[in-house]
Structure formats: structure tokens, C-alpha cells
Amino acid sequence: MNREMVKMTWTEFRDAVSHRPVILPVGSVEQHGYHLPLSVDVITSHNLSLLLAEEIDGIVAPAIQYGYKSKPSSGGGPLFPGTIDLNGDTLVHQVYDILAEFARDGVQYVFLMNGHFENEAFLAEAMDLATKEFPITTAMASWWDLIPQDVVAQVFQEVPFPGWDLEHAALTETSMVMYFAPELVHMDRYVEEPTFERIPYHRYPVKPGLVPPSGPLATARTASAQKGQMMAQAVVQACAKIYEKTKK
């Protein structure tokens, strides 16, 4: 069965969503170092959604390509050309409109697969507003939050785990893209830099030099497709459990 909404006719979509959940991937267009493409967050959320669709008999909607502003001390924000940000209210309205249209089309359940940390509050706002107005159930998870500690320990056997806030363009994201789109990973361009030291504040206007020049906040040196596969499988199983808990 074809799982992608964009490859369906309207009648196929109509018939499918009468009894199947829709999975909405959400990412961003954001710098991910010299070695990864700007589309890391979309690649990851879209491919995880495809795997989840097979697991829960779902339909994958077209991904939301753009996300909320990359913060200066995480993704680097406007310091890097190619990082294209949305204002918060823009993302809220976009996601709300999509959920509203799904509800009008008879969709009863939407799972939002988030691939960009800064999106979280705005996705939750859109979900809250949409479910107050329409008879639709929604759930949202960010994939990194679903990786169990035993898998984290295996992934970070060779290097210390710096915390999810510093895993930007680092070991986990690099491993995910190695698994899902290896042709887009350029480890020959990778530059090993010191792990970024957290700062407990955000400064605007953004001052150049805040994050490492190459973009990653921690090492990607030990990344592999096998680690990406291991994390992807764990995430999909966790998402399937969330679906079973929240669909009723």
C-alpha cells in the first residue's frame, strides 16, 4: 500500500483516512555543519514517519519544511546563510490550518513527528487550538525524547553524551542521515571542534562567534548508519506505543 499522501489520488486519500491515522512530519531548514544538508530535520522526521506509518497502518502527509527560529546558542540562528526561519505565529497558523483541513476531510487522528527542537511550543499551541474547534485527536513527539537510555548508552560508547541540547549536527543527527540519506553526508568535510559550552541565556541581536564556525555543537566523529538505524527503530516503537495510548 502507498503510504504517502502526495502520491495518492483524492479518492484514495478519502478512503484511506476514514480509518487510518495521518502522520505529519515537521522539520526546519537549518545549518547542520559542513558535512550535513540544510534539510536534516525534514529528512529525519519524514523517514521516521514513513517507518511509523508501516507500524501503525498510517498515512504520511507532506512534511512542513520550515520551522521556528533556530536559537543563537543551539542551531546558530541567522549566523549561517541557508537557515530559513518562521516567526512563531506563522508556524502556529500554518499547522492549525493543516489540522483544520484534515479534520474537515474526515481525519480523526494526526501524529506530529517533530524534528526541530524550537518547534515544540508552537506545534502544541496549534494542536490545542485545533482540537478545541474540531473533532480531531492529535499527538506530538520529538524523536530524540523517545530514545531509551540503553540505546543512548550504545550510541555513545566511544564519546560522552553531551545532552540533547548540544546534539546539533553531531553524532545522533549525523547517524540518522547516514541511515536515511547516506549520499547527503560528507564526512570528508567534517571539522572536529571543541564541544560548545552551554550558556544560560540568549542574546539578541545575535553576535557572531557564539557557536563554533562549522556549526555542530558536539562531535560527530563516531557517527554511523548502524547507530542511526538503532535509534530509528527505537523511536518508531515508542511512537507506536504513544499512538496506542492516545488514539482513543
SS3 67: strand
Name the residue type at position 224: S
32 is catalytic: yes
Q: Which residues contact 201 (CB under 8 A, 6 or more apart)?
A: none
Residues 136, 109: Cα–Cα separation, whole Å: 6
93 is catalytic: no
Residue of 12, 30, 105, 150 marked active site = 30
173 is catalytic: yes
193 is catalytic: no
Residue of 35, 46, 116, 167 marked active site = 116
Residue of 35, 85, 167, 168 marked active site = 168
Residue of 35, 46, 85, 118 marked active site = 118
Residue of 35, 41, 46, 167 marked active site = 41
Q: Which of 54, 34, 33, 32 is nearest to 42 (CA)?
A: 32
Residue of 32, 35, 46, 167 marked active site = 32
Residue of 35, 46, 85, 173 marked active site = 173
12 is catalytic: no
Burial (CB count within 10 angstroms: exposed 0-12, middle 13-18, buried 19+), residue 236: buried
30 is catalytic: yes
Residues 84, 217: Cα–Cα separation, whole Å: 19
Residues 223, 18: Cα–Cα separation, whole Å: 41
Which H helix or E strand runs over 24?
strand 22-26
List residues with catalytic annotation. 30, 32, 41, 116, 118, 168, 173
